[in-house]
C-alpha cells in the first residue's frame, strides 16, 4: 500500500526561479503600466507619487521589461535543450506542449461540470495549465514588440510608417489589460483559489507535491510512475 505522506518533485529549481522572475516582472510592469494608463484615478496618482512620478514609473517599467526579456531568453534555451534531449516525449504525456488529447480532456471536463460524466483523469500538465503556459508566449510577443516600438520610436520609424506608434500604443495598452485580467481572475483562481488549493498552491515555491495530489489530480502521471520504479524513486523527495 502506498504511503500517502510521501512527496514528489514536480518543479525543479530552474523552473521555480523562472516563475519568480515572471511574478516580479509581471507585478512590476502591471502596477507601473496601469498607474500610467489610469493616471487620473486616485489610486494611480498615489502609486505614481510613491514611485517617483512618471520618470520613476518609466524607469521601473523598463527594468521589468529587461527582466522579461532575460527570462524569455533563458526559457528559450531550456526549450531547445529539452527538445534536443527529449524530442521523443515532446508531444506525449509528461510534456507541456499541447496534443489532441487536451481537446478531449477539455470536452470531458465540460461534460463533468454539467454532470454528464465522471471527472476526467489528467496527466502531469492539464489542458488549462498548457493554455496558461502558451498564453505567456502570445502576451510577451505582443506586449514586447509593441513596447520596443514605444521605447525606441525614432529607431522604429526609420523602417516603419509613423502610424505604427499609434498601433503599438493600442496593442501594448489593451493586451496588458487583457493579461492583467486573465492572470488575476482565471490563473489565480485555477492555481490558488479553487477549494483543493485554497489559499495558495505552494508547489511553485517548494517544487514539491504530495502523493495524494498526484494520485487524485494527475492520475495518469501516477500510473506512469508506478510502472517505472526508477522514475518513482527519482521523483520522490528524499
Instruction: Give the pLDDT of residue 1.
Output: 43
| pLDDT at residue 2 greater than cutoff 90 | no
Residues 74-98 have pLDDT tens digits of: 999 998 988 888 776 777 778 888 8
Class of domain 7-235: mainly alpha
In the chain the beta strands, taken as DSSP E runs, fall at 7-9, 208-210
How many angstroms separate the CA atoms of 63 and 69, rounded? Answer: 10
Residues 65-79 have pLDDT tens digits of: 999 999 999 999 998
| pLDDT at residue 5 greater than cutoff 90 | no
Record the pTM: 0.89
Per-residue pLDDT band at 238 (split at 50, 70, 90): confident
Burial of 64 (0-12, 13-18, 19+ CB in 10 A): buried
From the CA atom positions of the chain, what is the Rg in Å? 21
| pLDDT at residue 34 greater than cutoff 90 | yes
Q: Where are the alpha helices (DSSP H) in 98-126?
A: 100-113
How many angstroms separate the CA atoms of 211 and 120, rounded? Answer: 19
Residues 159-198 have pLDDT tens digits of: 999 999 999 999 999 999 999 999 988 899 888 998 888 8
Residues 41-56 have pLDDT tens digits of: 999 999 999 999 999 9
Average pLDDT, rounded, for the chain: 91
Residues 6 or more apart from 181 whose CB is under 8 A from it? none
Cell 494608463, residue? 37
Instruction: Give the pLDDT of residue 91.
Output: 72
**Helix (H) / strand (E) containing 182:** helix 163-182
Amino acid at each position: 500500500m502506498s504511503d500517502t505522506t510521501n512527496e514528489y518533485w514536480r518543479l525543479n529549481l530552474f523552473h521555480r526561479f523562472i516563475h519568480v522572475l515572471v511574478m516580479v516582472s509581471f507585478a512590476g510592469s502591471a502596477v507601473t503600466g496601469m498607474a500610467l494608463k489610469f493616471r487620473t484615478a486616485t489610486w494611480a496618482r498615489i502609486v505614481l507619487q510613491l514611485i517617483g512620478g512618471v520618470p520613476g514609473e518609466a524607469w521601473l517599467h523598463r527594468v521589468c521589461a529587461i527582466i522579461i526579456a532575460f527570462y524569455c531568453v533563458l526559457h528559450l534555451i531550456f526549450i531547445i535543450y529539452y527538445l534536443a534531449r527529449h524530442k521523443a516525449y515532446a508531444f506525449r504525456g509528461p510534456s507541456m506542449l499541447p496534443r489532441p488529447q487536451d481537446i478531449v480532456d477539455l470536452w470531458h471536463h465540460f461534460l463533468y461540470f454539467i454532470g454528464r460524466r465522471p471527472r476526467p483523469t489528467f496527466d502531469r500538465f492539464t489542458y488549462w495549465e498548457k493554455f496558461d503556459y502558451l498564453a505567456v508566449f502570445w502576451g510577451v510577443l505582443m506586449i514586447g514588440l509593441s513596447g520596443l516600438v514605444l521605447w525606441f520610436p525614432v529607431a522604429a520609424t526609420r523602417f516603419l510608417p509613423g502610424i505604427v506608434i499609434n498601433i503599438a500604443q493600442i496593442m501594448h495598452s489593451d493586451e496588458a489589460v487583457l493579461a492583467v485580467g486573465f492572470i488575476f481572475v482565471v490563473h489565480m483562481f485555477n492555481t490558488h483559489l479553487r477549494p483543493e488549493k485554497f489559499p495558495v498552491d505552494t508547489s511553485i515555491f517548494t517544487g514539491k507535491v504530495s502523493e495524494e495530489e498526484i494520485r487524485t489530480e494527475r492520475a495518469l502521471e501516477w500510473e506512469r510512475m508506478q510502472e517505472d520504479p526508477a522514475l518513482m524513486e527519482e521523483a520522490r523527495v528524499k
